[in-house]
């Protein structure tokens, strides 16, 4: 469906969480936030754009690091309040150099 | 690491997003919110507990539907503000009966 038909629900800050998954290995790489503009840019450029809550600015993932995420497919969930972005990632997703941001295992 | 060592960052509502992934197929099933109590219950019972923002109550996924999610592993991300829960899901994750909540494809 087109973005207009998806009737996405943004939160009070105008943001929606976007889960980023490597399309072939299915590894979950990171979660970040999009606003409507970053989502439009993501669809237009087929690379991931997010809204940085700490810097209060748009960021195109990989623009400075080179670790670009090429968008393969993008889904909204049943409630239209979360996105899943399947990508082909160049380089690590995490600023620590790890492939995925989810490397801290929590146990009982 | 233990939960206490993870130094998780909850949002202003005391919540943290939890991405739920089927451990073997790596399919992303859903995203829901946990508070500290639901996270403790998740670790204690090895089944997923969330905080329902609409009903303002704890819910144990599958308690009424039977679609229980057995926790295989739980990770925090680098920023300690998002969780990834690998599960073995009994039945569909989505209230629509779909295996995954992410079935609405958005295209340019």
Tell me the CATH number at B81: 3.10.20.810
pLDDT tier for residue B108 given thresholds of 50, 70 and 90:
confident
Specify if A11 maps to a domain: yes
Distance CA B23, CA B17 (A): 18
Q: Is A26 a member of any domain?
A: yes
Residue A44 to residue A40: CA distance in whole angstroms = 6
Q: Which of B2, B28, B84 sits opposite A84 (nearest CB)?
A: B28
The alpha-carbon gap from A57 to the nearest alpha carbon of chain B, in Å, equals 18
* B103 and chain A in contact, CB less than 8 A: yes
Average pLDDT of the segment spanning A59-87 = 97
B21 located within any domain: yes
Whether residues B2 and A78 touch (CB distance < 8 A) is answered with no
Query: Which structural domain range is residue A39 located in?
Result: 3-89
The string over B58-92, giving b where at least 16 C-beta atoms fall within 10 Å of a residue's C-beta and e elsewhere, is eebbbeeeebbbebeebbbbbbeebbbbbbebeeb
Backbone angles phi, psi at A59, to 5 degrees: -140, 135
> How far is B88 from chain A, CA to nearest CA, in Å?
16
Put residue B96 in one of left, alpha, beta given phi > 0 → left and psi -120 to 50 → alpha. alpha
Residue B94 is assigned to a structural domain of this protein: no
ipTM: 0.96
Q: Is B3 on the interface with A (CB under 8 A)?
A: yes
For residue B11, give Cα distances in angstroms to A64, B1, B17, B36.
28, 21, 9, 11
The overall average pLDDT reported for chain B is: 96
Instruction: Give the SS3 label for residue A65.
Output: coil
Question: Would B49 be classed as within a structural domain?
Answer: yes
Separation between Cα atoms, residue B57 and residue B25, nearest integer Å = 30
Confirm whether A54 is domain-assigned: yes
B98 occurs within a structural domain: no
Read off the pLDDT of residues B50-97 as tens digits, 9 standing for 90 and up: 999 999 999 999 999 999 999 999 999 999 999 999 999 999 999 999
Which of the four pLDDT bands, split at 50, 70 and 90, describes residue A108? confident
* Domains identified in chain B, total number: 1
Q: Is residue A107 part of a domain?
A: no
């Amino acid at each position: 469906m087109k973005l207009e038909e998806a009737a996405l629900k943004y939160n009070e800050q105008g943001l929606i969480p976007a889960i980023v998954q490597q399309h072939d290995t299915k590894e979950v790489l990171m979660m970040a936030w999009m606003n409507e503009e970053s989502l439009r840019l993501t669809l237009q450029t087929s690379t991931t754009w997010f809204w940085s809550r700490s810097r209060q600015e748009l960021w195109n993932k990989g623009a400075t690091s080179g670790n670009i995420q090429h968008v393969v497919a993008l889904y909204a969930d049943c409630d239209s309040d979360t996105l899943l972005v399947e990508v082909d990632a160049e380089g690590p997703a995490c600023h620590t150099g790890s492939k995925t941001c989810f490397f801290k295992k929590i146990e009982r």
